[in-house]
Amino acid sequence: MSAGLASARAAAERLAPPAGGTILLYGAYTAALFVVFLIATFPHDLLVERLLARSLPDGLAADLSGTRVGWGLAASIADLRVLPRDGQGPPVLALEGLRVAPSLLGIVRGTPYPVGARARLYGGTLEGTLDARPAALDVDARVADLDLGRYPLADGRLRGRVQGTVVLRGDTDRPATLNGHVTLAVQALAAEGVRVRGILLPDLHFTQVQVAGTVTNGRLEITELRGAGDEISVEGGGTILLRDPLAASLANLQLTVQPAPAAPQAIRLALNLLPGAPDAGGARTVQVAGSLGQPRLR
């Protein structure tokens, strides 16, 4: 019996860590508990709000709820709304089920970027990656099956399904460094009862609208702009020199607007307000110049 107990004690002593090893194990256990409780009690809402505040343009604020952080520090946000900072008007953007995953390597380097994101957006999906640092802007975003009918307008209503991609890289403080491309397709687009600067626009219905462009050294060249509609058809292209703020960007576009054979009289009267003389088929070619904030037609 005593021999058996002695051999068992010897085996236990061989398996037991040395005195210094015990201290290290307790230290590792304590550090692990500290990390777990830090993650559980960390003010994630405040961190996400600060990240969004740095990413949003001036004049906009974020309102979010239902924030959780899981493994890999990926944050889940049940509801995120981007609102005018003055509180006037409907939300500019509303996302549901947003999941944001920061770069763990970036966090080690002191920044969460690039950030991967995926969310539900007006019945569709939005996903992509973002590095919002001004000197290292990197956007690669895709939107699919977005329902314009769910977007709130102060006046009027939109309908249509949107697919699109945006790829943009450069320095937002130096727009001339921006490069990338943009594509957009809208199926069954309709605008009804819409007002622009208090002016009621005629109702418009398009079977399809397509826009495509490339950005080279801060110059957006629109290579395709086509819309086939029940009331009018539109074709055009041109360039936009990007500026900061975006409303200061300079446009040089040419649009050709053609009334449909069955266009209502209100549409034809509205087209008569455009500058220039119509051709034999009633089409008018219009130049859009000036800044995006204050465009001029000629």
Per-residue pLDDT tens over the stretch 128-146 = 998 877 778 899 999 999 9
Do residues 54 and 27 both lie within one domain? Answer: no
Do residues 36 and 52 both lie within one domain? Answer: no
Asked if residue 29 is part of any domain, the answer here is: yes
Do residues 28 and 48 both lie within one domain? Answer: no
Do residues 37 and 86 both lie within one domain? Answer: no
Asked if residue 220 is part of any domain, the answer here is: yes
Do residues 36 and 155 both lie within one domain? Answer: no
pLDDT at 37: 61
Do residues 167 and 216 both lie within one domain? Answer: yes
Do residues 173 and 148 both lie within one domain? Answer: yes
pLDDT at 50: 67
Asked if residue 187 is part of any domain, the answer here is: yes
Do residues 1 and 113 both lie within one domain? Answer: no
Report the domain count for the chain. Answer: 3
pLDDT at 19: 53
- Residue 17: domain span: 1-41
Do residues 183 and 285 both lie within one domain? Answer: yes
pLDDT at 207: 94
Asked if residue 229 is part of any domain, the answer here is: yes
Asked if residue 126 is part of any domain, the answer here is: no
pLDDT at 177: 92
Do residues 137 and 174 both lie within one domain? Answer: yes
Do residues 70 and 27 both lie within one domain? Answer: no
Task: Among 80, 97, 121, give the residue marking a domain's end.
Answer: 121
Residue ranges, the chain, pLDDT below 70: 1-23, 26, 29, 32-55, 70-72, 107-108
Amino acid at 269: L
Asked if residue 127 is part of any domain, the answer here is: no
Asked if residue 188 is part of any domain, the answer here is: yes
Do residues 87 and 100 both lie within one domain? Answer: yes
